[in-house]
Structure 1
Amino acid sequence: MRSAVARKRATNGPDGILLVDKPAGWTSHDVVAKVRWLLGQPRTGHAGTLDPFATGLLVLCLGQATRLSEYVMAHEKTYTGEIVLGIATDTADCEGAVTARRPVPPLDGATLERLARQFTGRIAQVPPAYSAVKVAGQRAYDLARQGKAVELAARPVEVFELQLTLLAADRLRIDVRCGPGTYIRSLARDIGEALGCGAHLASLRRLRSGRFAVDEAWSVEELERLAGMGRAGEAVLPADEALLEHDCALLGPSGAAAFVHGNVHRAGGALRPAPAARVYSTAGQFLGVGAVDAGGSVQPVKVFRA
């Protein structure tokens, strides 16, 4: 007879959100591939990649919840890491080739506070050459690996909080809370350039993505143990956990039927306008995402099947 794990893999796996504490040395896709196999859910994707050297929170969307990844990716993120000063690399991290070595100036608290203020707020940031940003239809990292010059335009990102702590004469701790699309590698590189010595990101750990925290995440080993007991699905959160920051709308039986068939329906009660609201039936079933207009009508945006 096939094991419970094998039977689970032969079926469609669960829908929902899975929080994984990514280990160093794994790509984000490695984690996705592992989870697809363990949970038997081929429709699995991550909502915001982490570089192979980085660790920490990787939010995975499973099954129908893959349609909610855009909302998860829009969350602010919190990171901690270490910056090595005086050594620049072509990837702006510890995995790249060294491109320059320069002396590190003496640093004090006032200098670090000035740097933190300089890189806090809405800033223009150039992504690293080795990044997934597309240039003329190609990934920048593919062009860089071919030895081609990669020129990426600066784009606005937002850094809400930034703290720099001196760990050694040539090493800083960086703690940052930022908006989507911010590259911490670029922050490290630019901080080094602002000091005139160059720098690269030596380590990085993602602590939070929106309301999700790494303290709530599962290690790969823990997921393997659960899967061995046929219980891996217990680690999966309901899909609507991805949207708890959004307003919600309740629809009665006729409204719920209209919604799941893609039709607009006016909800009962007072609803404030929202481009994306969680929609539930009065029986408590999560129906999907709807746009609420000023009149309280709910337009289906993403409909979840039962």
Structure 2
Amino acid sequence: MSLKTKGRPLDGVFLLDKAPGVSSNKALQQLKRLYMAEKAGHTGALDPLATGLLPICFGEATKFSQYLLDADKEYFTTAKLGIRTRTSDADGEVVEEKPVPMDLTSAQIEDLLRRHFLGEIEQVPSMYSALKHQGQPLYKLARKGIEVEVKPRRVQIYEIELLALRADEIDLRVFCSKGTYIRSIVEDLGMLLGCGAHVQRLHRIRTGQYHAAQMRSLEALEAELQALPDDPQCIQNHLDQLLLPPWSAIAELPELRLEEEAAAFILQGRRLRLDEGVAPSQEWRLFAQATGAFLGLGETNEAGILKGKRLIRSA
């Protein structure tokens, strides 16, 4: 999702710790206004119930947002046992209640997680997800009482760990591929346990290369700004220093530094034959050798010829 209104041009990524009860779009708009930014977009919506890491891309960083949408994610979640809801989370209407088995053990849950959820699994997304059907998010159709067939999708669960077991709650850590629905995991686990379950809490702690230790809440950020001198330039400088560079969204890609003439060729939309030592069929973060300036994303074809893919305006 991207917003384009008048504002100052700036490029970078802010790692927001989204508050509960706020939509990802509202959180984006709040931060965009605070930065007085010309262009901003978020990368991978979190439900209003969910909290945690929501990367906000400004300016040229939005060109690389797809890489964050496609990135692996990691979550902490608390599942409430014994209660199923219409939306599979705490915001939904209760549809069924059953007693939680009194003899439930950690070993039993860990065995179910290992046998049914670890590795490549098939999920049926919830009708209350943001997945689209003919251009409409499923949750909007569901709220209108419209049911559509939702096809199963295959996702990868790299790690799933039981962190705690209480009388009617369990805490899980899930490291997974894009498109994984934690609500579906919790719902399915509840069915396997015979008592039903829904997501009580969901907190994202990783998106691609970004980790929770790097994020800031809007509340904490506003408190920082209030402690600064009442000087617009001082406030703006502080805000800008918190931004990660646009290339941080693709930090896992190798970098390639180009001499002045080669950089000019690429920025003009021309192709460049590279030395034999450069790997073919590869995406690259491109930088100017002399200045270190980020030029954008390039790729080499099977013959080792480099072309620009997403280049930076200010380069």
Query: Shorter-chain TM-score: what band?
Result: over 0.9
Quick one: distance in 1 between partners of 2:281 and 2:161? 34
Query: What corresponds to 1:17 in structure 2?
Result: 13
The one of 50, 64, 69 equivalent to 2:60 is: 64
**Does the C-alpha gap of structure 1 residues 168 and 291 become closer, same or farther in structure 2, counting only changes over 3 Å?**
same
How far is 1:11 from its partner?
Answer: 4.5
How far is 1:177 from its partner?
Answer: 0.5
2:171 match: secondary structure: strand
Kept after mapping to 2: 8 A contact 1:72/1:242: yes
The one of 188, 198, 214 equivalent to 1:216 is: 214
Query: What corresponds to 1:161 in structure 2?
Result: 159
1:215 match: secondary structure: helix
Query: What corresponds to 1:80 in structure 2?
Result: 76
2:75 match: secondary structure: strand
How far is 1:190 from its partner?
Answer: 0.9
| Amino acid of the structure 2 residue aligned with 1:66 | T
Kept after mapping to 1: 8 A contact 2:79/2:201: yes
How far is 1:224 from its partner?
Answer: 2.5
Note if 1:302 corresponds to 2:310: yes
Aligned alpha-carbon RMSD (Å): 1.8
Aligned-residue sequence identity (percent) comes to 38
Quick one: distance in 1 between partners of 2:48 and 2:176? 20
The CA deviation string for residues 97-122 of structure 1, in whole angstroms up to 9 with x for no partner, is 01111222231132112111110101
Map 1:168-207 to 2 at 5 A.
168-207=166-205
2:28 match: secondary structure: helix
How far is 1:10 from its partner?
Answer: 7.0
Query: What corresponds to 1:89 in structure 2?
Result: 85
4+ residue runs over 4 A deviation: 225-228
Quick one: distance in 2 between partners of 1:222 and 1:299? 42
How far is 1:41 from its partner?
Answer: 1.3
The one of 109, 114, 121 equivalent to 1:112 is: 109
How far is 1:166 from its partner?
Answer: 4.3
Query: What corresponds to 1:29 in structure 2?
Result: 25
The one of 246, 256, 269 equivalent to 1:249 is: 256
Kept after mapping to 2: 8 A contact 1:129/1:151: no
Map 1:251-266 to 2 at 5 A.
251-266=258-273
| Amino acid of the structure 2 residue aligned with 1:137 | G
Quick one: distance in 1 between partners of 2:128 and 2:162? 24
* Unaligned residue ranges in structure 2 (runs of 5+): 227-234
1:49 match: secondary structure: coil
Quick one: distance in 1 between partners of 2:280 and 2:95? 52
Query: What corresponds to 2:295 in structure 1?
Result: 287
Quick one: distance in 2 between partners of 1:281 and 1:42? 26
Quick one: distance in 1 between partners of 2:256 and 2:161? 39
Quick one: distance in 2 between partners of 1:165 and 1:18? 29
How far is 1:274 from its partner?
Answer: 4.1
Quick one: distance in 2 between partners of 1:29 and 1:272? 39
Query: What corresponds to 1:5 in structure 2?
Result: none
Kept after mapping to 1: 8 A contact 2:86/2:92: yes
Kept after mapping to 1: 8 A contact 2:7/2:38: no
How far is 1:151 from its partner?
Answer: 2.7
How far is 1:301 from its partner?
Answer: 0.8
How far is 1:282 from its partner?
Answer: 1.0
TM-score normalised to the size of structure 2?
A: 0.90
**Alignment size in residue pairs:** 298
Quick one: distance in 2 between partners of 1:97 and 1:142? 16
| Amino acid of the structure 2 residue aligned with 1:142 | K
How far is 1:71 from its partner?
Answer: 0.8
Kept after mapping to 1: 8 A contact 2:121/2:154: yes
Kept after mapping to 2: 8 A contact 1:291/1:298: yes
Kept after mapping to 2: 8 A contact 1:112/1:165: no
2:125 match: secondary structure: coil
The one of 42, 46, 51 equivalent to 1:46 is: 42
Kept after mapping to 2: 8 A contact 1:247/1:274: no
**Does the C-alpha gap of structure 1 residues 260 and 226 become closer, same or farther in structure 2, counting only changes over 3 Å?**
farther
Comparing 269-278 and 285-294, the one that deviates more: 269-278
Quick one: distance in 1 between partners of 2:263 and 2:202? 44
The CA deviation string for residues 144-195 of structure 1, in whole angstroms up to 9 with x for no partner, is 0001223311100110000124432221111110111111111111111122
Query: What corresponds to 2:229 in structure 1?
Result: none
| Amino acid of the structure 1 residue aligned with 2:188 | D
